[in-house]
Amino acid sequence: MEMEALITERQNAEFDVRSLKVVFWGGEQNFEMVSRMAAIAATDPVFERVDQVATSRTDLFKSGLRKAARVRQHVLDLSLSDREAYILRTFVDERSYADLHWNMFIPALEGQATEEQQEYWLPLARGMKIIGCYAQTELGHGSNVRGLETTATFDPTKDEFILESPTITSIKWWPGGLGKVATHALVQARLIIGKEDYGIHAFIVQLRYLENHKTLPGVIVGDIGTKYGNNTVDNGFLCFQSVHIPRMNMLMRISEVTKQGIYKSHPVPRGILYGAMVTAREIIISEASISLSRAVTIAVRYSAVRRQFGGSKHVPEEQVLNYVTQQKRLFPLLAAVYAFQFTAQWMRWLYEDIQERLKKNDFSTLAEVHSCTAGLKALTTSVAAAGIEECRKLCGGHGYLCSSGLPDLYTNYLPSCTYEGENIILYREVGRILLKTFADSQKGIDSSGTMAYISSLNNSNVNSCAAVEGKEFFDERGLLHAFEIRSLWLIQQCADKVSKTADFQAGLDEYAVEIVEMAQAHCQLITISKFHDKLQENIPGSGVKEQLVTLYYLYALSLMVEHVGDFLSARYLTVMQANLVQKQIIVLYKKIRMNAVALVDAFNHTDHFLGSTLGSYDGDAYNHLYKKAWKNNPLNDTLIPEGYEEYLRPILSGQHGGQLALSKLVNCHLYFLREFSS
Amino acid sequence: MEMEALITERQNAEFDVRSLKVVFWGGEQNFEMVSRMAAIAATDPVFERVDQVATSRTDLFKSGLRKAARVRQHVLDLSLSDREAYILRTFVDERSYADLHWNMFIPALEGQATEEQQEYWLPLARGMKIIGCYAQTELGHGSNVRGLETTATFDPTKDEFILESPTITSIKWWPGGLGKVATHALVQARLIIGKEDYGIHAFIVQLRYLENHKTLPGVIVGDIGTKYGNNTVDNGFLCFQSVHIPRMNMLMRISEVTKQGIYKSHPVPRGILYGAMVTAREIIISEASISLSRAVTIAVRYSAVRRQFGGSKHVPEEQVLNYVTQQKRLFPLLAAVYAFQFTAQWMRWLYEDIQERLKKNDFSTLAEVHSCTAGLKALTTSVAAAGIEECRKLCGGHGYLCSSGLPDLYTNYLPSCTYEGENIILYREVGRILLKTFADSQKGIDSSGTMAYISSLNNSNVNSCAAVEGKEFFDERGLLHAFEIRSLWLIQQCADKVSKTADFQAGLDEYAVEIVEMAQAHCQLITISKFHDKLQENIPGSGVKEQLVTLYYLYALSLMVEHVGDFLSARYLTVMQANLVQKQIIVLYKKIRMNAVALVDAFNHTDHFLGSTLGSYDGDAYNHLYKKAWKNNPLNDTLIPEGYEEYLRPILSGQHGGQLALSKLVNCHLYFLREFSS
């Protein structure tokens, strides 16, 4: 019965799934490539998934090493491009030092090393003759780079820098690959020449001998211990005790120190720096979409298979997917997957656009681009993380089983909310730029790009919604406009509040909460606008456009309901209109319900990538659950469990108790007296 | 510097911490008892915490057995009461079969067995000569008890029942302690006599021989595999293949089957059943408060220790606790801990009240009590689970480390949202009763207890808030009234919508989302009302009352801001007043900021119970983090990691690649063609 459920769902779908797959993956060529990489990950037995909970830490780490080595083999044998290798690692879905080496260390070299330095280091790194990590954060210093304490002091007598960790809070902490693997680290440290502190600069420091992997003198390095997820990675700590490196190991593209100890700043090649930033953020936003899409696939398929309540002796219970409480929580996440994916696709265009402009020395869009990509990172990663956990809840009790794939998916995904910029801090930065842009627009300076609406909306005459019937909310352009009005209203409110404070910075601190909400609203608007833009393109395939329009409406209207207080306060909606929106969403639920299984099939995920008993393509969830309970479960290897003789038999046979040493008890009570009765 | 931070915070506190400890724990006597139990858990080295991630599943399970045996020893040696034993297990904080035996199996026997059956089974169970589990849920059946498929068919020729698992979905799935430990199970199964199905009844089934722990014939039992958390417990599956049990193993208090196969219903002793239900729910609500309080303690202390941004060369960075973005997310959770604790305290009174009423054959409050306790369970567990995860985020990157204590706290706590009633299903049930009560009140029937406001508020003349200044919202009674108005307004809206549907049940389904929101609003009101009642008591201790009043205001006003759309729609607040509330909350943040560390000290948690490097009483977070990275971390036992020779050296020395068998590649591509190009 369970397997039939998905067959029926697929038969009822009203659109061509393959066409939507191509749209989702951004064109035939990319779709073909990702499918090829997913197939390698799914078929090579080395890439079989491990159970993060059942496996000891040492074995998890070894599994990461093993898979990374296997990926490397595929890359060389198949001559995969960097992009293909990245996609293959994504589908292998087990983090290791290799992710940090390729995604952090090498891009940092490309951005910050001089051409001469790149000629030396890049072939070594790209050939993996050395393995690098990116060592920035310290035990006491995360997001605030200016707070870093590690020092690199220039010693002109030896033409060297001396690295030192002066305090416990200065110990490098978190870098992936650092703990047990990396031979080199790109270390962010405070440059000291003489008595002068020149702030944070990057240095290449060798940590381990290439011959035998032993650590170099003065380098104290290790693994920081177990984490929520990603325990295949050796996140590390690093403490320097007077470690000497050649002067030329400072990355000198942006500034240099001469042999004489003279500090020089160089004109920054902004194009490369900004381009890299946009690419990194595009990857994060695309990953947010993909990670969330996995959870949504599992939850949608299992909700179609699972039945609960209703029914009678001759009628089966109701499919959980039919419950509006389930639809309300699940379908907006399905829509968000598409919204984020189209936003990521737009960022690929943005990258090209930036490159073009910079070639013409046009820096006008930089601040806006920097801000919008930062905000989109914050929005998409936090929605994806919360959405994965929501999907787990939507699978009921079984979502709590590791074999559902959802616990690991959540715990492995979580760090995205912190790395490459902590989300709240990013939102505050976006907020600052929004307020500045608003102030400029008041002075008649036009805003551009994703902030164009700030100057173009007629401020003095903010429109109200004219709808008198629910169906009037099915208006592609109208919804976009509604979110522009909301965002502008929030900006006006914040600007007004901040203007009444002592100074701009004080105002930003005092109204930080409102500013974060304003920035979030602006970023939601961007995703709606990019979804809207996508709908204006030529979208081939039977019924595909209609599905995307429905998802667009749901995405926008769900956000409208979620933030209805804003729309009411801004007097865009009346209470009666807000009620109409709530009713109208039910219409969308019904449309999406018909196509939900096909809409997740369109993500094209293999069973390997999903790694889920509940979400498998065949819908045979209960058989998969039962089989998985027997497989790789050491507790089921013996009938009588380990520990029975020692801890259970004495209790059951009544030979337990009365053996507690009196001294122990006295200690307890002394402790109690000391600790609690003061 | 870090340690000094908490000392300063404690010096600045404006109230007597010990007095608040006593209020929080519900009186001197209980405070003394829980302190004593916490001290045992903290001082006995057997109770040292294990790292859930680093430890293999087998060792986790053995750890659970070991601690359970040790608790049993303390119980016997110190002659602990059931309540003391329960509290000790709480502070040991590592789930095992013992929790299910004492909290589920024995209470079920007490509720459902006849006196004669109790005389036989209870001494065995209480003496742990047998160990029981509670086997209700099945692979395909969770919350809907009526959907269970396991059958118990009466065989009059042998005076036995025959238990059978007819389908894969009928396999018992989830019961804790079932997998490897329990000797007996209380099995919920469908009673069949002749061809007649009499619905779900409870049966005691022996699973394992007491002599050697081997399973009985026809019993297929095992562990269901790893879970998000609680992997010290052997949650199990159970499949019956024609298992015979004596007729007298059916629990016959509520109904019985005679030797002749005649089915008889007995008058139900409702007092005992309802009393047990209230007690079980009180425990859950108290646990929600305690679990959340641990996370809040960790987050508050670490936010006082941690510094980020601001500052300059001579001034340290700003304490994270000073940021309003941090306060906005953290302080309402601190207030919720107190609100839930006082709600649990009220439920102890409610239990007595119910008992009194039932003695006088007064059943008038039963439906309301059943509903309010169900709803409070749903509210408190979901707020606690989400709040724990929020506290983890508020600790920045380090909250992602297991040594922070927060990942385990979250994953171990999560099942509370599902067991004893899935939260959404509970809310829907509450909603149904609210609508019925509202309909009754329209007919002139007065509502009572937590629903009294439904009939007592003047429906025709709903008040609006009269406040013109922010400080007017600091009104104990006024806030309670505001939430009554909001709740009643939501009930009216739902009632109106449902009344326009074909029938009541159809309306409940169609407007399930709104009904869940309405039920949640009602439950929030109850917690506000119980917090309000607590403030009317005599609260001794210097400054204690003032702190509680501040927390009460924050709890209520935070909820008002969170649900401002309701208050605007109900026309209780104007947009201007809503802005006043937002401003006024800042005043509360400042008050609570001064006392935050002392307010979490008042929970009285030991460092053992917190199990957190970040949240330790001394505030020496960074030293604890660094030491913990070295302790019990197998990756740091050797300089060269396992796997180096096999997986790293070949890559670094360039002897890697080109070894992938061609056949493998052909397979990949075939798979690709089959799977993706259809």
Q: pLDDT by residue (tens digit) across A117-167?
A: 999 999 999 999 999 999 999 999 987 888 999 999 999 999 999 999 999
Residue B671: is its pLDDT beyond 90?
no
Listed by number, the residues of chain A in 540-569 with a beta carbon closer than 8 Å to a beta carbon of chain B are: 564-565, 568-569
Using DSSP bridges, classify how beta strands B263-265 and B255-257 pair: parallel, antiparallel or unpaired: antiparallel
Packing angle, helices B270-305 and B324-359, rounded to 10: 160
The domains located in chain B, with CATH, are: 2-112 (1.10.540.10), 132-267 (2.40.110.10), 272-607 (1.20.140.10)
| Residues in chain B within 8 Å Cβ distance of A123 | none
Distances (CA, A) of B590 to A606, B17, B468, B597: 52, 19, 22, 13
CA dihedral B287, B293, B299, B301 (to 10 degrees): -140
Which residue ranges of chain A lie beneath pLDDT 70?
1-2, 268-273, 311-313, 420, 458-462, 656-678
Asked if B643 contacts A63 with a C-beta cutoff of 8 angstroms, the reply is no
- Whether the CB-CB separation of B279 and B420 falls below 8 Å is answered with no
Of these residues, B2, B110, B318, B420, which one is catalytic? B420
Q: Which two tokens stand for residue B424?
A: 């959404």
pLDDT at A360: 83
| Average pLDDT along chain B | 92
Q: Could you tell me where the beta strands, DSSP code E, fall in B309-446?
A: none
Question: Can you give the pLDDT at residue B316?
Answer: 82
Instruction: Give residue A201's Cα distance to chain centre.
Output: 27
Using a CB-CB cut-off of 8 Å, the residues of chain A touching B571 are: 575
Half-sphere exposure of B642 (CA within 13 A, CB side): 14
Compare CB distances from B512 to A306, A325, A569 and report the shortest one's residue.
Answer: A325
CA–CA min distance A97, chain B (Å): 11
Instruction: Collapse the DSSP code of A208 into the 3-class scheme (helix H, G, I; strand E, B; otherwise coil) and give the result.
Output: strand
Long-range contacts of B470-473 (CB under 8 A, 24+ apart): B470/B580, B470/B581, B470/B583, B470/B584, B470/B587, B471/B584, B471/B587, B473/B553, B473/B557, B473/B580, B473/B581, B473/B584
Residues 6+ apart with CB under 8 A from B654: A127, A129
Cα first-last separation, chain B:
64
Mean pLDDT of B640-666: 73
A176 marked ligand binding residue: yes
Cα(A553)–Cα(A559) distance, rounded to whole angstroms?
A: 10
Name the strand (E) or helix (H) holding B554: helix B544-562
Residue B155 corresponds to which tokens in the numbers above? 């065989």
Measured over the CA atoms of residue B372, residue B375, residue B377 and residue B382, the dihedral's sign is negative
Q: B227: nearest CA in chain A? A: A401
* Token code pair at residue B26: 């519900």
B421: left (phi over 0), alpha (psi -120 to 50) or beta: left
Residue of B nearest to A77 (CA): B658
Amino acid at B136: Q
Active site (annotated) includes residue A537: no
Which amino acid would we find at residue B644? Y
Q: Which H, E and C letters describe B519-533, residue by residue? A: HHHHHHHHHHHHHHH
Cα B38 from Cα B43, distance rounded (Å)? 9
3-state secondary structure of A163: strand
Classify A33 in phi/psi space as left (phi over 0), alpha (psi -120 to 50) or beta.
Answer: alpha
Cβ distance B658 to A237 less than 8 Å, yes or no, reads no
Hey, how many other C-beta atoms are within 10 angstroms of the C-beta on B280? 16
Best residue in A651, A653, A662, A673 to probe B by mutation, most B CBs within 10 Å? A651
Q: Is the Cα torsion angle A213, A214, A218, A221 positive or negative in sign?
A: positive
Interface check for A102 against chain B (CB to CB < 8 A): the answer is: no
Any chain A CB within 8 A of the CB of B486?
no
Note the helical H segments in A450-605: 452-456, 476-499, 504-510, 512-536, 544-562, 564-569, 575-601
Residue B5 has pLDDT above 70, yes or no: yes
Q: What is the mean pLDDT of residues B639-663?
A: 78
Q: Which residue has the higher pLDDT, A82 or B52?
A: A82
Nearest to B397 by CA among A424, A222, A200: A424
Which has the closest alpha carbon to B103: B14, B233, B292? B233
Which positions ≥6 away from B440 have C-beta within 8 Å?
B447, B455
| Three-state DSSP class for residue A221 | strand
Quick check: A39 and B672 CB within 8 A? yes
Residue of B33, B51, B58, B88 for testing the chain A interface, max A β-carbons within 10 Å: B58
What does the pLDDT read at residue B272?
Answer: 64
Cα–Cα distance, A619 to A628 (Å, whole number): 15
Neighbours of B217 (CB within 10 A): 8
Cα A313 to Cα B280: distance, rounded to the nearest angstrom: 32
- Alpha-carbon distance of A396 to A429, in angstroms, equals 38
B209 CB near a chain A CB, below 8 Å?
no
B 222-261 residues inside an 8 A Cβ radius of A: 222-228, 231, 234, 237
A225 is in an annotated binding site: no
First-to-last C-alpha distance (Å) of chain A:
65
Using the Cβ of A628 and the Cβ atoms of chain B, whether some distance falls under 8 Å is answered with yes
Percent of chain B with pLDDT over 70: 94
Contacts 24+ apart (CB under 8 A), B530-535: B530/B339, B530/B342, B530/B343, B530/B345, B530/B346, B531/B338, B531/B339, B531/B342, B531/B343, B531/B555, B531/B556, B532/B476, B532/B477, B532/B479, B532/B480, B533/B342, B533/B346, B534/B342, B534/B345, B534/B346, B535/B476
H and E: helices and strands count for chain A: 24, 11
Give the span between the Cα atoms of A233 and B93, in whole angstroms. 28
Mark which residues 373-432 of A lie under 8 Å from B by CB: 389, 393, 396-397, 400-403, 407, 411, 414-415, 417-418, 422, 424, 428
pLDDT at A539: 96
Amino acid type, B207: L
* Residue scoring higher pLDDT (B52 or B152): B152
**Residues from chain B contacting residue A317 (CB–CB below 8 Å):** 144, 147
The reported pLDDT for the residue numbered B617 is 98
Q: Which two tokens stand for residue A145?
A: 């780079």
